[in-house]
Structure 1
C-alpha cells in the first residue's frame, strides 16, 4: 500500500530529506502524481504538435579530411542559432555509451540507504552528491528527477569517491568526451577571433568538469510534470548522452523568428551525443553563440536516464567577452564576473529560463 502523505511537508521529508527521491515515491506504489510535483499550466510540456529537430548529426570524423571547412561551418552555425547539435564519430566508444546507461540504472536501483551515502554532508567527498529535483527548497513545483553528480579533480579521487556502480565508465566517458569538447571549443573560438587561444586560457575556460547521471522514473501523469524545468546550462559546453526514450526539448529563440516560444524535440539518435552551448560561451562570445534554453519531459511508459558531462571555467576564473571580440564589436553585452559568483547565483534560484545570464549582463 502506498504511503499517505498527509501534507506537503511529509512528502518533502520522504523524498528530499530521507533520500528516497522520486524513485522511492514510485516504488512505494504511487498511482498519481502528488500535488507538490504538479507544474503550473505554462510550464507543462505538450508533446502533441511539437516539431522534431530533423537536422542530421554532424560527423566529426570529417574534420580530418576535405570536408573540414563544411563541418566547421555546421558547428558554428548550430552554436550561433539553436545552441544544440548532435554529433557522431565523436571518438567516444559506442560500447562505453551502452555501459554508461546500464551503470546509471544499476546505481538508481540501489536502496535509498545505499544512495544516501552520497547525500550532502554524508558523502565521502564534497564533489559527489546524490539528490533530487534541482533546488527543492526553492521550487514551488518539484522536478521529476533524481541524480548523482560527480565532480572531477583527478583520476585517483574519482576512483576512490565516485559510486562503485559507475565510477570506471563515468571516468572514461569524461576523459574521452573532453577531447571532443576541446576540439569543438577551439573551432568556435578560432571562428570568433581568427587565432587559437593559448593552452592556459583554454584550460581556464574548461578546467572544471563534472559527470551527472539523471534518472527520470516512469510517471503516472507525465502531462502534469517536468523532468527538468526550462533553463540554460551555466558552463562552457555540455556533452549529453540520451537513452532511446527521448524527452529533451530546446527552445527556438528570436534568431529563428520564434515569437511564440516554440520548442523543438531533440530525438535520440543511436550512437550520437548531444552538444549544448552553455552560458559561459555566450558570455565569452559577447552573445554571438547562444546558450540553449532546454527542458525535459517525463514519460508514463518506462524510466529514462540521461548522462551529461559539464565543462566549466575554474571557480577563480574571470569570465567576460573576449577582448578581441569587444574590439571588433565596439560594444560589450556582458561584464566580467568571477565564475564562482556566477555559479553561486545559478544554484541560488529555481530553474526559470535563461534568467541566470542576467547576472552577467552589462548595465545599459
Structure 2
C-alpha cells in the first residue's frame, strides 16, 4: 500500500472504541456522533428484512453452467454485490481466520498498540481514512496488512500473538486469491471476453486484508460502524463472522439494504477498478456498516486489485457509440494513492477517473 500522509489516531486512548466500550459510557463521545443526515435508520422492518442480493454457486461456474454465468452477470450489473457459496475454501479455515482475528482484537490495547497504523500508511491497528481533528470517526477498530506483492508487506506489523495469526492469514489469503482469480475469469466470460483477460492485464495483483471489529454501541442510531464508500479494488471479498450481528448495508435504489449473512458464504463486491475497465457496465456500489446495541461484529475483508504499475482504462470491447468512453486512462498506483488520501465519501473518489462532460 502506497505511503501517503494520514492523520494518526491515538490508539488506546479516547478514540479506541473497545476501550470506550469498557467504560460503559452513558453518552457517545461527540467525535463519533453523526450529523442527522448521516445517521442510520434502524427500524425493525429494515433490520429484519430479507434481501434479493444474488447468490452465485461457484461449483456450478466450475462445471460450466451457462445459467450460473448469467446469474453472475445479473449480479454484477444489477447489484454490484453477491454472495458466493461452494467457493472451495474449507469451513475450518474460515473458522480459523475468524478465531485468530477475534483473539487479536481481544488482546490488551497495549499489545495491539505494538502494531500502530502509523502516519503515511493504511496498514496496522487503528482507523484509516482520518485526516483531521474534527472528522467524525467510525465505531470500529481495524487491523490491516499488505499481502502481495512482497514489497507491500511490513513484517513489523505481523503479530506474534495470537501464535497462529500470521500462519493462518497466509493460508487463508492464498485460498482467497484463488477465488478472486477464478471469479475474474467468470466475470470476463459474463462480458463476452477472453477468460484470462484480467489476469493477463493485472500483472502481479495487489492483495491486502483488513479485519474490522465493531463493539456493541449503546446508541447505534447515532453512529456508523463504517462510513459509506465504494472500494478502490477490482474485487473485494468479505467474510462475515458467523456469530456477528447484521451490519453490512448496500445502497440500492436510494435505500440501505442489509446483507444477511449466509453460513460459510463469501460476500463479493465489484470495486471501482472493474467499473472503469467495464466502462460502467459493472458498477461499484456504495456500502456501509452499522452497529448493534448488544452484539459485536467481526468482518474480514480482502482487497484484490491490479499491480500498481499498470495503466487502467475502459476496455475497447466495452466502448461503442451507444456506450461512449466514460473514464480516462490512468496509472493504478496513482488511483490507489488518491483513494487512501481521501476520506470515505460515497463514490466521490471515483471522480478521479471520470471524463468530465
Calculate the TM-score normalised by the size of structure 1.
0.86
Task: Find the partner of 1:89 among 86, 91, 102.
Answer: 86
More helix by share: 1
Q: Compute the displacement of 1:139 (Å).
A: 6.0
Q: Distance in 1 between matches of 2:308 and 2:179?
A: 22
Q: Distance in 1 between matches of 2:340 and 2:119?
A: 20
Q: Secondary structure at the match of 1:332?
A: coil
Q: Secondary structure at the match of 2:37?
A: helix
Q: Secondary structure at the match of 1:150?
A: strand
Distance 1:199 1:352, change over 3 A: closer
Partner of 1:5: none
Q: Compute the displacement of 1:328 (Å).
A: 7.3
Q: Secondary structure at the match of 1:211?
A: strand
Q: Secondary structure at the match of 1:117?
A: coil
Provide structure 2 residue ranges, at least 5 long, that are not aligned to the other structure: 1-6
Q: Secondary structure at the match of 1:172?
A: helix
Q: Distance in 1 between matches of 2:129 and 2:122?
A: 16
Partner of 2:247: 247
Partner of 1:357: 350
Q: Distance in 1 between matches of 2:320 and 2:309?
A: 25
1:34-113 map, 5 Å: 34-48=29-43, 49-50=45-46, 51-55=49-53, 57-65=55-63, 68-113=65-110
Q: Distance in 2 between matches of 1:363 and 1:75?
A: 30
Q: Compute the displacement of 1:319 (Å).
A: 1.0
Distance 1:328 1:313, change over 3 A: farther
Partner of 2:303: 310
Q: Compute the displacement of 1:196 (Å).
A: 2.9
Q: Compute the displacement of 1:340 (Å).
A: 1.9
Q: Distance in 2 between matches of 1:177 and 1:47?
A: 32
CA RMSD of aligned residues (A): 2.6
**Does the 8 Å CA contact 2:149/2:206 hold for their aligned counterparts?**
no
Distance 1:147 1:330, change over 3 A: closer
Partner of 2:195: 196
Partner of 1:173: 172
Provide structure 1 residue ranges, at least 5 long, that are not aligned to the other structure: 1-12, 253-257
Partner of 1:3: none
Partner of 1:219: 217
Q: Secondary structure at the match of 1:137?
A: coil
Q: Distance in 1 between matches of 2:191 and 2:322?
A: 11
Q: Which moved more, 1:109-118 or 1:52-61?
A: 52-61
